Structure 1
Amino acid sequence: MSRQATLRTGVGPRRPGPRARASVARAVLTASATVAAGLAAIPLVYLLIRVLGADADAVLAALVRPRTLELAVSTVGLTAAVAAACLVVGVATAWLLSATDLRGRRAWVVVTTLPLAVPSYVAAFGWVALTPVRGFWGAFLVLTVCNVPLVTLPTLAALRLSNPAHEDVARTLGRSRARAFLEATWQQIRPAALAGTLLVALYVLSDFGAVALMRFEAFTWAIHSAYTSQFDRTLAAALSTVLAAMGIALVWAERRLRGAHARHGSSVASRAPRTPVVLGRWRVPVLLALATVPVGAVAVPGFALGRYLLGRAGTATSVDGADLVGDAATTVGFAAGGALVALALALPIGLLASRYRSRVSAALESASYVGLALPGIVVGLSLVFFSLAVVPALYQTAWMLAFAYGVLFLPKAVGAVRASVDQVEPGLEDVARSLGSTRAAVWSRVTARIAWPGIGAGVLLVALTAMKELPATLLLRPTGTDTLATSLWRLTESAAYGAAAPYALVLVAVAAGPAVLLTRDAVATVRERGEAA
C-alpha cells in the first residue's frame, strides 16, 4: 500500500495477529528442538548403522540368546530397585528439610547433596576396600547413596514453588498429614520428583564402574566386555540397542506417570506462612537417617582413600603437584564446555515439551534422553565415527569432547528446563502479554527470571556429572591431555592405589564446588519455610 493510500484510508500495513505470531514462534521452536534432538540422537544412529550393517543372523542370535535375557532381568531389577529407593528417600529427605523444625537445616541441605560429588566408581572402590559387600546388594547400595540427591534437589525446588494452601485445605477437611501430602502437595511436586527419578534410572542403566567393581553382571558389563575383550562390535551394538530401548521405555513410563500435569506453581503463594512439623522424640532418628546417605557415599570412600593416601595400604607413590593441578583445571574446563553445549541443546527441547505438549514434542524429548541410557564407551565410539566421517578436524579436540558431554548429559538439562518452566504460573505470562509485551520480552522478563534458578541447577548438574565421566573422555580427549578421571583410571589400572588416591580426593573436592552451588535454591527453600514459620 502506498503512503498516499495509507494517509487517505488511515490504515497501515497489516501486521500478523497474535495467533499468527504464536504459530511462527511454535514453528521456530519446533525446528530448533528438532535440530537439537537430532544431534543428541547421533549415538543411536550409530548403533542402528552398526546393527543394520551387520549379519542379520548374528544380530538375532545375540538378541535371543538366554544370556541376553539374564542380563536384561539383572539390569531391570537393579534399575527398578535403585530408582524406587531414591524416589522414596529423596522425597522424604526433601520433606524433612523443608517442612519440619529440624535444626541446622541449611547445613543439612549441603551435607545431603555432597554424594553428588563422589563418582560411583570411587564410592564402590571404598566399599570394596573396606567391606565384603558385593553383587546386587553392593551395586544397589552404592548407586542408591550416590544418586539420592538427584531426587532430593528437584523436589526441594518444587516445594519452594508449591502452594501450601492446597495441603492446608485438605487438612481442614479431615485428611491425615500423609494423605493430605499425597492428595495436594505430591500432585504439585510429582513432575520434579519423577524427573529426578528418571535421571537416576537412566544413570543406573549406563553405569559401568560401580557394577564392575561390585562384580554384578549388568548390560554395561557385557557391552564393555564385548568391546574391549571379545572385540565383538556386533554383539556390543546389539546389546547397546537393547539398552537404548530400555531408556526410551523409561522415558515413556515417566511421562505416563507424570500425567497431564496442571501447573500449580506460584511464586507468591509458596511464601504463605506454614507451621513446621514438630519432630519431638523423632528428632534423633531423623538425624541418623539423614546422615546415612552422606556417610555411605562420602565418609566410607573418603576413609578408604585416606588409608591409601597415607600409605597404610597399597603402594604409596609420589605425586606430581603440577600434574594434579593441571588435570583439575582441564577437568573443570571440559565440564564447563559440556554444560554450555547441554544448555544450548536443552532450551528449545525443554521449552517445547513444557509449553506445547504434543506427540512431536514428546518424541523430541524422548530422543534427547537416549544418550544417558547408553554407556559412555558407546557414545564415545559413535562420536569418533561421526567426527571421522563428517568433521575430521574435530576428532580428539576439546570441542568434540564438550559436545560428547552435552549429548551424554543432555537429559539432566532438559529435565531441569521443562520442570522449571512448568512451575512458572501461566497467569503471569498472560498478564505480561496482555500488557503488550512480545513473546521474547515475556520470556526474558517473566519466565526466565522465575525458571532460571532451576535451569541453572540443571547446568551445574551437567558440569558436575561431566567431571566424573570416564569412558567417553578416554576415547575423545585431545592427545596428551588428561583429566582427573583419566589419570585416576590410569593409576588404578597399574595398581598404584597410593598415587591414585590424591586424584580421587581432588576429583571429589572439585566436584563438591558445583554440588554446593546446587544447594543454593534448596537453602533458599528451607530459609523461606523457616522464616514463614
Structure 2
Amino acid sequence: MVALRSIIAAPQVGKPGPVVTVAALLLVAATFVPLGYIVSTVFSTGPERAAELVFRPRVGELLRNTLQLVVCTVPICVALGIGLAWVVERTDVPGKSWWGPIFAAPLAVPAFVNSYAWISIFPTMHGLGAGVVISTMSYFPLAYLPAAATLRRLDPAVEESARALGSGPVAVFTRIVLPQLRLAILGGGLLIALHLLAEYGAFAMIRFDTFTTAIFEQYQSSFAGSAGSMLAGVLVLCCLALLGAEAGLRGRARYARLGSGAPRAAPRIGLGLGTIPVLAGLAAVTAGALGVPLWTIGRWLRIGGADVWDFTAIGNALGQTIGLAAAAALLTTLCAFPVAWIAVRSTSSFARLVEGANYITSSLPGIVIALAMVTVTIRWAPPLYQTASMVIAAYVLMFLPRALINVRAGLAQVPVGLEEASRALGKSGTSTFFLVTLRLTAPAAAAAAAMVFVAVATELTATLLLAPIGTRTLAMRFWALSGELDYAAAAPYALIMIVTAVPVTYLLFTHSRKAAGI
C-alpha cells in the first residue's frame, strides 16, 4: 500500500508531493537493478576474462542466430500485419467485422504453446526456418494492431487529393499511406524484436539456440556463472541497440491534421475478382496462427481422453498461478500510480526520467531480470532467495510498463478542477483521492491489472528460475510435461492458459479501436 499512501500524501492537488517523489525514485532504483547487475558482473569478472568469455566462437554463433531471427522475422511480421490491416480496414472483404478480433486473438496463445503445436504436427521442425514460422504466427498481431489503429485514424481527404492529382493506388499507398504508418511500423517492429530476444520456451522446443536459451542452459549447468552473465551482458547490449535504432529511425516526425476535420471513414476499395484469393490468404493466416494450436490441443485431448485431466494437479497449478498473478497484478498497478502521477502532473525532465527508466528495464529479457534477482538475493538477502516475494518483485519489474500505460491514461482524464473543488468543499486529500481520483481512474487501473495478470499467468522463463521449490504454475506444468514428450498430459494446461488470456486479448483489441476513435 506504499504507492497508494504516497499518492494520498501529495500536499497540493495535481502536484507530486515529496512522498510521491520518493516512492517513484525507489521504483526507479529498483528498475536499474538488472542493469546494475550486468555492469557489476563485467567489472568483477575483469576485462581480460570478460573479453575471453565474450569474444569466442559460441557467442558469435548465438549472435548470428539471434540477428538472423530478428532480421528475418520482423520484416515478415510487419509486412503481414500491414497487409492484413489494409485488407480489413480499407477493402470490402466479406466478414470485415470478424477479421479484426481474429487477427488479435493469436496474442492469447503463448509462443511456447505455438511451438508445441507446430512440432506436434511436424516433429522434424527445428532451426532458423522453424523459428521464423513460429515467431511470425505468434507475434504478427503486434504489428497488425497499431497499423489497423493508425489506418482508422488517417484523414481520407489526403489520399483523395493524391488520387485527384493523378496518383494511382500503388503510388497513394507508398507515398501517402505508408509514411503515415511509420510510427506504427517502428513501434510494432521494436516490440516484436524485443519479444524475439526474450523468448525461451518456443526456441528451446525447436532446438534453435539464441542468447536466451544459452543463458538458461548456462545457468542450469553453472548456477549463474560468469559465462552466463557475459552472455546476458551481450543480450542487454542487443536490446539497448534496438531501442536506440528505433528512436533514431522514429526521429521527430509527426503525422497529424492541423484541425479536427470532419471525422469520417475512408471509402472501402472493392476487391472484385480478388475477393476469393484474399479470403484464401486470410484463412491461411488464421489457420497457421489459431488453427494449428487449437487443432493440436484438441487432438491431444482426444488422444489422452479423461486420463489427462488430473484435476488435483490442474487445480493446484491453477491456484498457484492465480495467486501469483493476482498478487503481482495488484502490486504492479499500485506501483504504477506514483510514476503515472509524476508523468501526468509534471512536465520536467525528472518526470521523463522516471517514466523512461521503467520502459528501458521492461525491454530487457525476463531471464536477465531473473538472474539479477538471483544474484542480489544470494549476496545481500539470502532469506528472500526462492521465495514468492522475490518472484512477484521480478514480475513487477518486468510488467510495470503494461500497468503504467493504462494508469497514466486514466489519470490524464481526471480533471484537476474536480480535485480542487473537492478540497474547496472541505474534503481531505485522502477523501479526495478515494471519492474523485480513484473512482475516475478505476476502469483504467482495472484494465492495467488484467493485462499484468495474464502476462504473469503465461510467463515461463523468470518463473522457472525464481519460483520456490514446490511451485507448479500452469506454464511450469506445461513445460515439464511437454519436455517429457507427454504432449497429451500437457494439453489441458495449454488450453487453460489460452482461455485465461482470451478476455484480455479482446480488451487489448477494443482499446486499440477506442484509441482510433471507433
**Category of TM-score, reference length = shorter chain:** 0.7 to 0.9
Shift of 1:344: 5.3
> CA 1:166 to 1:341, structure 2 compared with 1: closer, same or farther past 3 Å?
farther
Indicate the residue corresponding to 1:104 in structure 2: 95
Q: C-alpha distance in 2, partners of 1:80/1:342?
A: 33
Indicate the residue corresponding to 1:142 in structure 2: 134
Q: Which runs of 5+ in 2 are unaligned?
A: 1-11, 424-437
Matched, 1:492 2:482: yes
Q: Pairwise CA RMSD of aligned residues?
A: 4.4
> CA 1:456 to 1:110, structure 2 compared with 1: closer, same or farther past 3 Å?
farther
> CA 1:475 to 1:267, structure 2 compared with 1: closer, same or farther past 3 Å?
farther
The answer to whether the 8 A contact 2:15-2:345 is kept is: no
Indicate the residue corresponding to 1:58 in structure 2: 49
Q: 1:223 aligns with which of 215, 218, 241?
A: 215
Q: Which runs of 5+ in 1 are unaligned?
A: 1-20, 442-447, 529-533
Shift of 1:370: 4.4
Paired residue secondary structure (1:311): helix
Indicate the residue corresponding to 2:71 in structure 1: 80
Further displaced range: 262-271 or 505-514: 262-271
Q: C-alpha distance in 2, partners of 1:270/1:390?
A: 61
Indicate the residue corresponding to 2:241 in structure 1: 249
Indicate the residue corresponding to 1:409 in structure 2: 399
Q: C-alpha distance in 1, partners of 2:42/2:517?
A: 53
The answer to whether the 8 A contact 1:109-1:522 is kept is: no
Matched, 1:259 2:251: yes
Shift of 1:235: 0.6
Further displaced range: 83-92 or 401-410: 401-410
| Letter paired with 1:503 | Y
Aligned sequence identity (%): 33
Indicate the residue corresponding to 2:459 in structure 1: 469
Shift of 1:260: 0.9
Indicate the residue corresponding to 1:70 in structure 2: 61
Size of the aligned set, in residue pairs, is: 496
| Letter paired with 2:149 | A
Give deviations 1:103-153, integer Å, cap 9, x for gaps.
322321221112111111111122112113321010011011101111222
Matched, 1:203 2:162: no
Indicate the residue corresponding to 2:506 in structure 1: 516
The equivalences for 1:98-247 within 5 A come to 98-131=89-122, 132-231=124-223, 233-247=225-239
| Letter paired with 1:102 | V
Q: C-alpha distance in 1, partners of 2:406/2:169?
A: 29
Give deviations 1:437-464, integer Å, cap 9, x for gaps.
98x99xxxxxx99999999877655443
Q: C-alpha distance in 1, partners of 2:382/2:297?
A: 40
Q: C-alpha distance in 2, partners of 1:100/1:452?
A: 37
Give deviations 1:333-366, integer Å, cap 9, x for gaps.
4334444555556677689889999987776666
The answer to whether the 8 A contact 1:41-1:371 is kept is: yes
Indicate the residue corresponding to 1:12 in structure 2: none
Matched, 1:502 2:492: yes
Further displaced range: 376-385 or 361-370: 361-370
The answer to whether the 8 A contact 1:316-1:496 is kept is: no
Paired residue secondary structure (1:278): coil
| TM-score after normalising by structure 1 | 0.77
Indicate the residue corresponding to 1:44 in structure 2: 35
Matched, 1:323 2:320: no
Q: 1:300 aligns with which of 292, 297, 311?
A: 292
Shift of 1:52: 1.9
